[in-house]
């Protein structure tokens, strides 16, 4: 059975797009068929896959607005070994269009329905905000992967995200769950890292992935070459970390398939001073 995973955190600069691109590449490297969807008007995931975003005639924008088909918007088999549904600045127009149309929150889910079983995993790179594009992604998704940097205020926005998840579960997607929280740009030498870690495990427990993604030069360089770290420098710590994350994600999903209880989300505000 295929899985649709949204990569989301309304806080910018936490490694969201890095996680989306590198998780897609790592899942592809483990012989899964993967589609990466860029639903961020910045188009960073598109550029990070080596695709010139401003040269595209058909993107996820036109797909959401019903102006093109999935096949026409699709970029088949980018260098990192997965398919890409790209985005560029035109997506801002789709955001406005969606707000003015009925069923505005399910357009992506409806567009993916005919093709979702063609892929083992569909990864959606969301904008760094809880806007209608992110809501479309969460409505379409089975699970949410949250990249989070272990720094001051890192947990502040999680309460809003959890509330959004609960609202979507009650309204349009009852099966949405937190797939996992991945700690990015991780520095174990930092005292604050230990404090944020403790809070993460206190509030989210086993939802926190054991795999951490360290700060890594090769991981930071790879997007400028239009590649995932695995293609750019497969032996780098960043590439190895995302391969480990993909493995952990697959093992968790295998265990969950055997049977898991209902997920409960923590309520309230989170703070590095809590």
Write the pLDDT tens digit of every residue in 127-165: 998 899 999 999 999 999 999 988 777 777 787 888 889
In a domain, 35, yes or no: yes
Report the pLDDT value the prediction gives residue 196, as an integer from 0 to 100. 85
Instruction: Collect all residues with Cβ–Cβ distance below 8 Å to 9 and sequence separation of at least 6.
Output: 16, 128, 146, 147, 148, 157, 161
Percent of the chain at pLDDT exceeding 90: 73
What pLDDT digit, counting tens, does each position of 54-106 carry?
A: 999 999 999 999 999 999 999 998 988 999 999 999 999 999 999 898 889 99
Assigned domain for 266 exists: no
Of 7-21, 141-155, 203-217, the least confident: 141-155
Q: How far apart are CA 238 and CA 259, in angstroms?
A: 32
What is the phi/psi pair of residue 208, to 5°? -80, 125
Q: Work out the pLDDT band at 218, boundaries 50, 70, 90.
A: very high
> Among the ranges 112-116, 127-131, 164-168, 194-198, which has the highest mean pLDDT value?
112-116
CA distance 142 to 72: 25
- Helices first, then strands: H and E counts in the chain: 12, 7
The number of beta carbons lying within 10 Å of the beta carbon of residue 123 is 27
Q: Is residue 267 part of a domain?
A: no
In a domain, 169, yes or no: yes
Q: Residue 98 domain-assigned?
A: yes
Q: Which residue has the higher pLDDT, 103 or 180?
A: 180
Does residue 262 belong to any structural domain of this protein?
no
pLDDT at 24: 98
Tens digits of residue pLDDT in 227-271 = 999 999 999 999 999 999 999 999 998 888 777 544 555 544 444
CATH, residue 205: 3.40.50.300
Residue 264 lies in a domain: no
Give the domain extent around 148: 3-256
Question: Based on the structure, what is the number of domains in the chain?
Answer: 1
Instruction: Assess if residue 114 is contained within a domain.
Output: yes
């Amino acid at each position: 059975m295929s899985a649709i995973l949204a990569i989301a955190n309304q806080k910018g600069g936490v490694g969201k797009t890095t996680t989306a691109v590198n998780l897609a590449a790592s899942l592809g490297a483990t012989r899964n068929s993967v589609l990466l969807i860029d639903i961020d008007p910045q188009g960073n995931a598109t550029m990070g896959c080596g695709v010139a975003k401003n040269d595209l005639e058909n993107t996820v924008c036109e797909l959401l607005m019903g102006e093109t088909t999935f096949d026409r918007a699709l970029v088949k088999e980018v260098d990192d070994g997965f398919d890409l549904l790209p985005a560029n600045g035109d997506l801002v127009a789709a955001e406005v269009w969606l707000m003015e149309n009925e069923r505005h929150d399910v357009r992506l889910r409806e567009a993916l329905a005919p093709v979702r079983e063609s892929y083992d995993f569909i990864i959606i790179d969301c904008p760094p905000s809880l806007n209608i594009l992110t809501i479309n992604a969460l409505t379409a998704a089975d699970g949410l992967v949250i990249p989070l940097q272990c720094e001051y205020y890192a947990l502040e926005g999680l309460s809003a995200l959890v509330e959004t998840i609960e609202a979507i579960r009650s309204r349009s997607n009852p099966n949405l769950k937190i797939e996992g929280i991945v700690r990015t740009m991780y520095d174990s030498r930092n005292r604050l890292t230990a404090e944020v870690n403790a809070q993460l495990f206190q509030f989210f427990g086993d939802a926190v992935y054991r795999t951490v993604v360290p700060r890594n030069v090769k991981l930071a360089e790879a997007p400028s070459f239009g590649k995932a770290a695995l293609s750019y420098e497969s032996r780098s710590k960043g590439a190895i970390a995302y391969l480990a994350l993909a493995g952990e994600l697959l093992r968790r999903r295998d265990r969950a398939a055997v049977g898991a209880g209902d997920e409960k989300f923590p309520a309230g505000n989170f703070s590095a001073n809590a």
